Structure 1
Amino acid sequence: MEELAAEAGITVRTLRFYRERKLIHPPRREGRIAWYDETHLARLRTISALLERGHTLNGIAELAEAFDHGRNVGELLGLGAPTEETPVRLTPEALADYFGDQATPENFAASLELGYLGTDGSEIVHISRRLLDVTAALVREGIPLADVLAAGRRVREHTDALAELFTALVISGGRTPDDLQRLRPLAKSVVEAELSMAMDRRLRQADQGS
């Protein structure tokens, strides 16, 4: 315990306090010997980094609980499932750097529920680099992260319906999943074109109303 505390730059008393608050996992025990590993050190460094960023211990405890009970990366991405998205591996403190004081337990839990985030050992995995970058950009524009996530949930509902529609269109007539994968870019082109025209209509309405 003394060695772990020294490596983490904290006192043994602080380490015991973190254990009592269940901010770190219990050590592996062999008889009366407690073994700590790199995951414990990583968690302690994360706690220190989040404290430096202004997070409270209560908030960190809630984040840790959500993190520990989040879906793993295999569940998030689907083992062997085709995807065009690039996952992003993040430490909890890196995620806090993206979203500042909006990296709250509530928003973290909402991201887990939405499927944007999963876990892989001591790391957080965001399902899509593009979605992460867009989310961060919208937050920088002053849009609350909670609102962005709520909008993302609605977008997910609509895109699921569109994917179901296109799948039914392609698979009918005896086509195979391979055909669906081959024709996938056509679905994306249709959605992109329709969204572009819909945004044109909204912009015209906004101009007329101003």
Structure 2
Amino acid sequence: MAEPTAHASGRREYRMEELAKEAGITVRTLRFYRERKLLHPPRREGRIAWYDDSHLARLRTISALLERGHTLNGIAELAEAFDHGRDVADLLGVGGPTEETPVRLTPEALADVFGDQATPENLAAALDLGYLGTDGTEIVHVSRRLLDVSAALVREGIPLSAVLEAGARVRAHADALAALFTDLVLTHASPRDLDRLRPLARSVVEAELSLALDRRMREQEEREEQEGREK
């Protein structure tokens, strides 16, 4: 069998038989995936269809997700959400200040993090929220800290859908707090001080949240004691 062809742009291209061999599947399976629209159309040159490494990456992702128990219908929905995801550059901006570390993930790696919670609905919600963006064939989570916390909450038995819903509500409060701090600095200091003073804003929010959690836990303990006395 002929080797994959190098395109003028430098990327590798494959005929159908070559692509199937590289992906470890049959040509019949490849045709089936095409019919299910799990792959975007190949480049046509006369009667020859040319596939590239993005098709190969998608085929390997399909195989990996099937091995993890996902159905073809679910994979198709995941692929559609992934294909329509916002570019990560739009989410992070270029050269702006940030204390967060983005995380690059393949779809199968994302499935490993969240297991059966990595559903098309949850992926679409995370894309809409701006937690996830796309960069070529990769998914990018905008914050290592948010990813780790979300995964930890899911491991504690909290559904990912509930975590994402809470994240949307936290986002609204965080935007309001950021606006408050920005207005404070712009009123009494200089725009150049915003980045330098942001650790102070974070400290205030962390302290106030800690105190608020203390109050909530005390209130919960008091309710439980009251319920115990009434029984």
Q: Give the TM-score of the pair, scaled to structure 1.
A: 0.97
Deviation at 1:72, TM superposition (A): 0.8
Is residue 111 of structure 1 aligned with residue 126 of structure 2?
yes
Q: What SS is found at the alignment partner of 2:133? A: strand
Deviation at 1:33, TM superposition (A): 2.4
Question: Aligned to 1:182, which of 179, 184, 196?
Answer: 196
Mapping of 1:4-83 within 5 angstroms? 4-83=19-98
Which residue identity is paired with 2:44?
Answer: R
Residue segments in structure 1 that go unaligned for 5+ positions in a row: none
**Residue 192 (structure 1) aligns with:** 206
Deviation at 1:80, TM superposition (A): 2.0
Deviation at 1:30, TM superposition (A): 2.2
Q: Which has the higher contact order (CA 8 A, sep 6+)?
A: 1
Is residue 96 of structure 1 aligned with residue 114 of structure 2?
no
**Residue 215 (structure 2) aligns with:** 201
After superposition, the CA RMSD in angstroms is 1.0
Residues in 2 aligned to 1:76 and 1:20: alpha-carbon distance in whole angstroms: 33
Q: What SS is found at the alignment partner of 2:139? A: strand
Deviation at 1:73, TM superposition (A): 1.2
Question: Aligned to 2:153, which of 138, 145, 169?
Answer: 138
Residue segments in structure 2 that go unaligned for 5+ positions in a row: 1-15, 225-231
Residues in 2 aligned to 1:102 and 1:172: alpha-carbon distance in whole angstroms: 45
Which residue identity is paired with 2:128?
Answer: E
Which residue identity is paired with 1:20?
Answer: E
Q: What SS is found at the alignment partner of 2:98? A: coil
Residues in 2 aligned to 1:58 and 1:81: alpha-carbon distance in whole angstroms: 39
Which residue identity is paired with 1:156?
Answer: R
Deviation at 1:35, TM superposition (A): 1.6
Which residue identity is paired with 1:115?
Answer: G
% same residue: 80
**Residue 122 (structure 1) aligns with:** 137
Residues in 2 aligned to 1:80 and 1:158: alpha-carbon distance in whole angstroms: 25
Q: Deviations over 1:56-83 (max 9, x none)?
A: 1111111100000000110121122211
Structure whose CA Rg is larger? 2
Which residue identity is paired with 2:58?
Answer: R
Residues in 2 aligned to 1:178 and 1:58: alpha-carbon distance in whole angstroms: 51
**Residue 175 (structure 2) aligns with:** 160
Deviation at 1:7, TM superposition (A): 1.2
Q: Deviations over 1:19-53 (max 9, x none)?
A: 11111111122222222111111100100111111
Moved over 3 A (4+): none
